[in-house]
Each structure stands twice: as C-alpha cells, then as structure tokens.
Amino acid sequence: MQPAESSQSHWRILCAILVFFASQNLTALCYGQARDRHLQQFADLPPGQVGQMQLSRGGPLAGYFQPVRMTVPKGAQVSLWAEDHFEAFEANQADAGMLVSGVYRTRVTRIPGQAGFEVYPTIEIINRLFPPQGQEQKYPIPVVITQEDLERAIEGQFVVRVVYLEDPLLALPVRQREGEQRAVDVGPGEDPLVAADKLGRPMAIVRIGSRVPTEMLNGQSGEGAAPLKLYRASSPTTETKPRSSAQQTPPGYRGTIR
C-alpha cells in the first residue's frame, strides 16, 4: 500500500470513530430529554403538604391572605368554616382571604336536584397572586365548583380540581363568560397538579368528596380550620348607611373586611 493511501484510510477510520461518538452524545442528550421531570409535588399528597413545600421555598408567601372567590351553582349555598362553625353566605359565592398552605373546609348545601345532600370540599392554597397594591380583593383566585363536580362527589367519586394561572403563551384565545371556569379533564393515571403545572402556575387545590366531617361538626377536632379573613358581601339594606372614606373598600367590590 502506498503511504498516501494508508494515511487516507486512517483518516476515514478516524472520521468514522468521531461520527460514532458524536452520535452517542446526541442520543444521550435525546435520552435525557425524553424522560420527564421528576416532580416533587402531586395532587394526592396529604392536604397541606404541597403548600408547606411551597412555603419552604421562600418568597413572600407566608402570612399573606390571598383573596379567594368560591362560586357554586346557582341556587346552592356556600359556607366557610371559620373558627368553630360554618359561616354561611347569602349568595352562591363566598369571598375570603386564605393563607398560603392553609387547608380550608367549606360546605355546599341546597344543591339543585340533590335535596338532602351536603358536600364538604376543601381548598388548599399553594401560591399567591401579585396584584397592584390596594387591589388585592379585586383579583381573587376564582374557585368554581360545578354541578357536575357536586354530583360526582355525591355518587362517591373523589374529584380534584387544580386552579392555575394560565401561561399567557399557552392561553386559549377564547372569551370566558362571567362565573364560568374552563376545566381540562385529565385522564386516569395522570396527576392534575402535574397537568396544571404544564399549563401555567397552580394556585389552589380543591378536593371534593362526599365525606361528612362529623368530627368537625361535633367539635371534636379542628381540621381544615386555618386562619381565615371573611369578606362578607353586605345586604342592600345595610349598604345604605354611609361610611367613612377609611372604611370604603376598593372600587368594584362591595363588601367589608372582618
């Protein structure tokens, strides 16, 4: 073999080896990207644990009362557990300030078409919004519980709703009606918190079941009794009384802070 041909053959072998290792590195990267992230938080963790892990990450979360607006179907009545009793609201929605990592027990009664049944969902706040200062109550986290959720819970199913702040880049360009909250049904075996994390920033976990908290009603324990700020909507008769400017609530919201 001539020396020139021999060196050419060596170059070919060297190039082939380089191509081989380059493909190995490329496939290794693909292998790593194909595997999903290993998430720490799931919706089926014990109530309150996700919020605790969020607090452990730091940030201005601890001690902040995040306004929440809970809405149930028209005709139904919603109550929130405050200290040692359920505080009922007049309309089908309730406004309250809830702590991040707090778990709050609620009650839905007078469910249309389900006479005699009561459902006791819980709300776990796992993150907060950052509205303009002084307008916190104008931008609450909307928690909408639909008639289908309540009927499923009465049938014995365990419904988990994760409310998330949608990513502007992934938001659907569809107008949302007042009182409506679009929901994405996840399939069996898929975690709703993980799915919500892909679509935006999870804010609250709502767990709905048919268990009656008899211990709470009998005063034996205070589960789900985190500190709560009730923003009770005033009735029209009491609204006629003029109030001082210091007591006025932000524009667009009719209520008082207890």
Partner 1 sequence: MPSARTMRRGKIMSVRLTLGTLLLAAATAVSGCAVPVQSGGMSAAHNLPPAQMLAQPGPGMGGPGPGVIPNVPPPGAQMAPATTAQVHFKAPVGMEIRWDVSGSGAYDSEPLVVPGIQNFPENGVYRLKVTGIEGREDERLYPSMEVAPITARTAAYLAHTPIPVHFTEQDFDQALSGNYVTKVIYIPDPEFQELAIGGVDTLVSTRLDPGVDPIVEADRRGAILSIIRLGSKDMELEGTAEGAAVQAGYTPEGAAVGNGFSPVPFNGGGVMPSYVSGVTGPQYGHPITGTPIGLPGPPHLPMGSPAGLQKHQITNHTRMHIPGPTQSLGIHVRQQPGLSYPRPVDTVRIREQAVRPMHFNNQPPADMVQGHPGEPR
Task: For the segment 29-68, give every residue that binds partner 1 (CB under 8 A).
Answer: 29-35, 37-38, 40-49, 51-53, 55-56, 62-63
- Strand duo 85-88 + 256-257: pairing: unpaired
**What binding mask, one character per residue, do residues 181-200 give for partner 1 by CB under 8 A, x or -?**
-------xxxx---------
Task: Considering the complex, state which of residue 176 and residue 220 has its C-beta at the smaller distance from partner 1.
Answer: 220
Q: Whose Cβ is closer to partner 1: residue 91's or residue 212's?
A: 212
The region of 127-135, 156-164, 230-238, 239-247 touching partner 1 under the rule CB under 8 A is 156-164
Q: Quick check: 101 binds partner 1 (CB under 8 A)?
A: yes
> Left, alpha or beta for 189 (phi > 0: left; psi -120 to 50: alpha)?
left
Q: Which stretch binds partner 1 (CB under 8 A): 26-34, 69-77, 88-96, 140-148?
A: 26-34
Question: Is the separation of the CB atoms in 103 and 124 below 8 Å?
Answer: yes
Which amino acid is it at 31?
Answer: Y
Q: Find the part of the chain contacting partner 1 (CB under 8 A) among 17-25, 106-114, 133-141, 163-171.
A: 17-25
Contact status: 235 vs partner 1 (CB under 8 A): no
Q: Which of 102, 140, 192, 202 binds partner 1 (CB under 8 A)?
A: 102
C-beta of 189 vs 251, nearer to partner 1: 189
Q: Which residue has the tokens 């060196």?
A: 7
Amino acid at 154: I
The binder of partner 1 chosen from 28, 171, 184, 217 (CB under 8 A): 28
Quote the least distance from Cβ 253 to partner 1, whole Å. Answer: 25
